[in-house]
Amino acid sequence: MKKRILLVDDHPIMRHGLAQLISMESGLDVCGEAGSAADGLVAVGKLKPDLAVVDLTLPDKNGLELIKDIQAMYPTTQTIVLSMHDESLYAERALRAGARGYLMKETAAENLINAIQRVLSGAIYVSEAMASRMLEQVTGQRGKSGSTGVDQLTDRELEVLEMIGKGTPTKLIADKLKISARTVEAHRAHIKEKLGITDGPALVRYAVQWVESRVA
């Protein structure tokens, strides 16, 4: 029996390339594709894939939230994050959300099949560099002074910070995240407190610089 793989990514060309790559493996079969978190969750329920490959940036909901939904509703489906976002910031968050693997899109051609096979065999997949970083944290070699910067933020706070950095108004952030504007303001207050920022304009400057530094 071939293992069934679902692809959740909002770029059709990316899904097509991943499907071609996966179809070259005799023991794997792409059973479906989805371009949004909502469609992805429906597809998991309908198709019952063994594993879902999920992008973090989806048009309707953050991929981390989708992974949490899949784990809550369909715990037998494993998930791997395939993203352009820096693993040093998001890999641990993805694993905490319930994913069993994380890899960067730039390394997908070389590592995706290995990652899928490792996760299907019951293991966890991250890059060697990320595995070393996580081991150092567990053994106390890093972070002795506590978390700093964006590492302190919750997944939702990090999502809000990114939207602020992209110039998204509070009302639109609320609409996108399906929360109230008051809740967005509460998140902004918590972000400022954790980052040691005293006022709104300084938060915006920080968020813009942070977003730009990740794109560069």
Q: CA angle at residue 6 from 89 to 13, to 5 degrees?
A: 75
- CA neighbor of 73 nearest in space, from 56, 103, 98: 98
List Cβ neighbours of 128 (8 Å cut-off, separation of 6 or more). none
Give the pLDDT confidence score for residue 130 in this predicted structure: 84
CATH 1.10.10.10 intervals, the chain = 149-215
Quick check: 144 pLDDT over 50? no
pLDDT band at 146 (very low <50, low <70, confident <90, very high): very low
Give CATH for domain 149-215.
1.10.10.10
For the stretch 93-138, pLDDT in tens is 899 999 999 999 988 889 999 999 999 999 999 988 888 877 776 6
Tokens of 14: 């990316």
Amino acid 210: pLDDT? 84
Q: Per this entry, what is the length of the chain?
A: 216
**Mean pLDDT, the chain, as a whole number?**
89
What percentage of the chain reaches a pLDDT higher than 70? 93
Q: Which CATH class is domain 3-137?
A: alpha beta
For residues 4 and 77, is the Cβ–Cβ distance under 8 A?
no
Answer yes or no: is pLDDT of 212 > 90.
Answer: no
